[in-house]
Chains A and B, each alone.
Chain A
Amino acid sequence: MVAAPWIILFAPALACAAIVLFARNSKPLSATLAIGGLAVSFSFAVYALLQSLHPLAETIESSVSWVNLPGLALEFGLLLDHPSILMSLVVTGVGLMIFIYSVGYMGEERGLPRYFAFLSLFAFSMLGIVLANNFVTLFIFWELVGASSYLLIGFWYERPKAADAGKKAFLVNRIADFGFLIGILMLWNLSGLEGQSRTLNFAELAERLQALVAHGTLSPQLLTAVGLLVFCGVLGKSAQFPLHVWLPDAMEGPTPVSALIHAATMVAAGVYLIARTFFLFWQTPEAMAWVAAIGGFTALFAASLALVEDDIKRVLAYSTLSQLGYMVMALGLGGYVAGIYHLTTHAFFKALLFLGAGSVIHALHTNNIWEMGGLLKKMPVTSITFLIATLALCGIFPLSGFWSKDEILAVAFFRNPLLWVVGTATAGLTAFYMGRVFCVAFLGSARAHSAGHAHESPPVMSVPLMLLTVPTMVAGFIGIPHYLHHGQEAGVHVPFNAIVAGISTLVAMAGLSLAYAVYGRGYQPGIQVQRVLALAAVPLSRKFWVDEVYGWINRNIQQRFADLLSLFERYIIIGLYVNGVAKITGFTGSVLRLAQTGKVQGYAATLLAGLSLLLYLSLR
């Protein structure tokens, strides 16, 4: 059914338009429209999934010609194949839970219709990335995601921190997208290298690149450059080092927004982009090596930052960074299926973690884990679901995270042992910081007054939590890797490996136990160890000074340069060119005005004089 992708894509867009037009002042109506729109998308995504399971099912690709000029033909097209079906299911399914949850979490907000309009816009943009069949369409939605995330992160724009965080996210992404855009333009040029009409369609590009490489027309260095430029886009959206700085700050947005950004949309877009353009990366091992290295580094780096964070949402933010590093690393190692698989399972349990954290924040009005404690008895649903998600994130059998994480580590084990070590160490750190959060926030006794009087959240919030628990637990058993594997030739696939799985489970258990011992039981290491740890904590709590370095660059290099340009602009551009030209044009205008005497005889004479001149010049 050709209409399915269009319906999936445009249902949230229509919901957004309807909210803006008709429901600006009605909270219930706006919520209904937003949830309804996404529900329509979700049901059609389910429909597409069922269709695609048929053995004779074909990929649906549908596009309309958009710009059609000689030498410049652009299309607006959608592609519904296995990865995009899976991703649209995740986006709409997890998104739906978050939308419903938002009714409870944001119910008191005055700007609720605005919130739901933005959420729908966000879902629309993300679905556009997922379904796009060419780079132009993808890039449009890529930028729309940037814009709508800006709107949502800065939703409480009256708080300076939230407004700044929105700006930061937008600007960092703009920097990354600049590289991405150059990469797209280079691909556009490459596609016409053998004389065909140029294209940015994924399937056609894949064929062209393969032919170019086979014919030796294309130098490997150039291809690597293109791959790295496209990867720039991933760095921004998926917040990989060194462009990770926006993600922790983005926690200033409402918690459901964080859940949406971290689980189903935005950051997933970067990883998805590598998968979509895997035909490009697969041709260039050098770029792949960079991708894997940056992914691995981000995984370890972000996990270490999460160790000392006291804000529950920020811990989760660093955890997202670290997990995204995992996925990027997997894709960089050629583990196409492993990367997308982890993206899927991570979407479930990370959304669950964020919504659980939101439930706690909603009840306690604090983000600091040291003001929580003892929530297990007072908020049982939140606590149990949070625990399940934590275990899934740590990769404990048989939860979904175990299977996908193991697939990544198995790929690393065979392709690059160093990265396997990094990945396994990250697993240990992950288990430790998640164990810390759980022990401090949920176990023990209340650490603050408000924690003592906490109550479970209303059903509109707790039911989505429970619903998300289901895929968190079973996503490892429903054959996602097999589904993704269908029709995908490139990439490496490694069977289940008991040794790798065993080691990573042991490391995770060790991390969890250590966290329990320290934060649950109050175990104190010796003075010497404490002193070392305190020293180690300094760079961690300062986030390795990355923000400071950027700030220094901004102040001392960029600002100086900008001042210089400003002088140039003020005196040369404005003073000489703009004002000069304006004076000349203004003067000419007033001279021309003199020709307009108002006397019809004069007009007639001018007309005939002009004609005579014309005749003279032509007949001369």
Chain B
Amino acid sequence: MIPAGLLALLPELWIGLLFSAILALDLRWKETRSSTMGMLTAVGLMPLFPLLWWQHSSLHPADLLSGMYRLDPMALLFKGIFSASAILVTLMTRELGKTIQRGHGEFYLLLLTATLGMFFAASSANFIMLFVSLELIAITFYVLTAYLQTDLHSLEAGMKYLVLGSLASGLLLYGFAFIYGATGSLQFSKIQEALSHHQASLPVPLLFGLLLALSGILFKVAAVPFQLWVPDVYQGAPTPVTAFLSVGSKAAGILVVFRVLQELFLLQAHQWSPIIAWIAGLTIAYGNLGAIPQTNIKRLLGYSSIGHAGYLLIGIATATTLGSAGTNFYLISYLFTNLAVFLVVTAFSRQTGSDEIRDYAGLSKRSPFLAAAMFIALLSLAGVPPLAGFFGKFLLLMSAVTEGYLPLAIVGAAAVVVSLYYYLLIVYTMYADKPEDPTPIPVSAPVRLALLLCLVAMLGIGIWQGPFLRISLAASFQ
């Protein structure tokens, strides 16, 4: 008889195993075989999906490891999102082999470490466990951001991220401490129990703690007013790291917001819901307006990812099942859409070494496939039907309207128009402008395959929302 705890931990154990295997290979193999190593990492991550599916269908939600770790549908959904983004990011890294001068093996190891951190964060049922997992993610990302040791931008980005991130971690810990002090426990279930005595309104120390902890998490989500690091870090970090930050790290942040607000503080929703709604509205406005004058695609995507964080927060602000399901759905579609954009950016910069939007001129002639994929992905990001991004936005705006946040919904809808403007400017550059250098851009088979998968997902999720909506509903708090 295998203990249930072991079965629940199988995905984490698998990542650990993969980590050891890559580590051993890294010691034995020469740098030149790094491309094979990247492939091994990507393929090695794939068994996570059947594993997670099996857990979903045969394991009961449970608290394990003396209540530190737990398994529930939400954790499983987010682990799926983390795995998918890890695989796609690994493929991007493999593509950018020559930009990373040394230490390919370690790079993959760091990606795996961050993934492991995300997995544990998804399953945390205790503030200590949660904090340690979040730090595992954060510290790994500091290293990853500064990985290009000869590139000043990368070093600067890493430094900024480290300083500001530490500040955020401090706030987070401070907030947790206040909550601990007021409730006398670090265990989610116990805190929930203690909080049920404060339905009408929270005492000041608890509210203070909640807001501090929230600030620390919203930093990861990149919501206003904790978003200033994003453009610099996104631009400076190696592209795969930027992609991972924009999807994996953001999803982890959203997950923790879910855990803290909708699980622990659900009874006090009337107190935090307007705050989150304000933050969501401001974040949407900031991200989308700030994206307009950008000339660097990674920086532009940084701003647009701030905007998307705002949309994700709408579902949390409504504090309803439909809203949370909307956020989950949005995240699933955002995963494929945003990573498709980053795949194109990666393939493009591998050949040209540039991330400037004006260099995308005439991409439709240099690589019709890349241009078309970028076009569709940008439309989906903006939320044009029938693509996946549309339905997510639709759900979120609908939930905002039904919960009485009409101004928020209007901001969200207006921002779609703004986002179409700057997204379509890229499309215009790709299709209407003449390329300076007409050499075709080759696309490697794995990237082509990954892009095709993303495109199918964008169209598939957009047209056949049923199954994805069911998953999103199952993983949201009832």
Contacts and interface: CB of A to CB of B under 8 A. Distances in A.
Contacts, number: 88
Given A607-B226, A619-B207, A593 B293 contact: yes
Interface string B278-311: 0000000010011111000000000000000000
A68 B418 CA distance: 30
Given A66-B466, A607-B164, A596 B232 contact: yes
B164 A600 contact: yes
Nearest to A596: B231
B160 interface: yes
B225 A592 contact: no
Contacts of A596: 228, 231-232, 290
A582 interface: yes
Nearest to A608: B167
Interface string B144-162: 0000000000000001100
A595 interface: yes
A484 to B, nearest CB: 35
Interface stretch (A40-48, A244-252, A369-377, A609-617): A609-617
Contacts of B226: 607, 610-611
A589 B275 CA distance: 24
Nearest to A613: B225
A475 B207 CA distance: 82
Q: Contact residue range for chain B?
A: 35 or more
A219 interface: no
A613 B163 CA distance: 21
A613 B225 CA distance: 10
A582 B425 CA distance: 13
A610 B290 contact: no
A70 B275 CA distance: 27
B163 A604 contact: yes
A586 B293 contact: yes
B293 A590 contact: yes
Chain B at the A interface: mostly helix, strand, loop or mixed?
helix
B204 interface: yes
A524 interface: no
Interface string B185-206: 0000000000000000000100
A58 to B, nearest CB: 26
Contacts of A600: 159-160, 163-164
A589 B290 contact: yes
Contacts of A619: 204, 207-208, 211
Contacts of A69: 395, 398, 469
A16 to B, nearest CB: 17
Contacts of A557: none
Contacts of A615: 208, 211
Nearest to B418: A585
Contacts of A558: none
Contacts of B421: 582, 585
A620 to B, nearest CB: 11
A168 B224 CA distance: 52
Interface in B4-37: none
Contacts of B293: 586, 589-590, 593
A65 B466 contact: yes
Interface in A117-147: none
A602 B160 CA distance: 11
A67 interface: yes
B225 A589 contact: no
B171 interface: yes
Contacts of A603: 160, 164, 228-229
Contacts of B470: 68
A585 B395 CA distance: 26
A300 B20 CA distance: 85
A196 interface: no
B208 A592 contact: no
Contact of A588 (B211, B231, B289): B289
A68 B466 contact: yes
21 contacts: A65-B466, A66-B465, A68-B470, A69-B469, A588-B289, A589-B291, A593-B290, A593-B293, A596-B231, A600-B163, A600-B164, A604-B167, A607-B168, A607-B219, A607-B225, A607-B228, A611-B211, A611-B212, A613-B225, A614-B275, A618-B271
Given A592-B289, A606-B225, A613-B225, 17 more contacts: A66-B464, A67-B465, A68-B466, A68-B470, A69-B395, A585-B292, A586-B293, A590-B293, A592-B286, A593-B290, A595-B228, A596-B231, A598-B232, A603-B228, A604-B163, A604-B164, A619-B207
- 5 tightest A-B contacts by CB? A610-B225, A589-B292, A603-B228, A592-B290, A589-B289
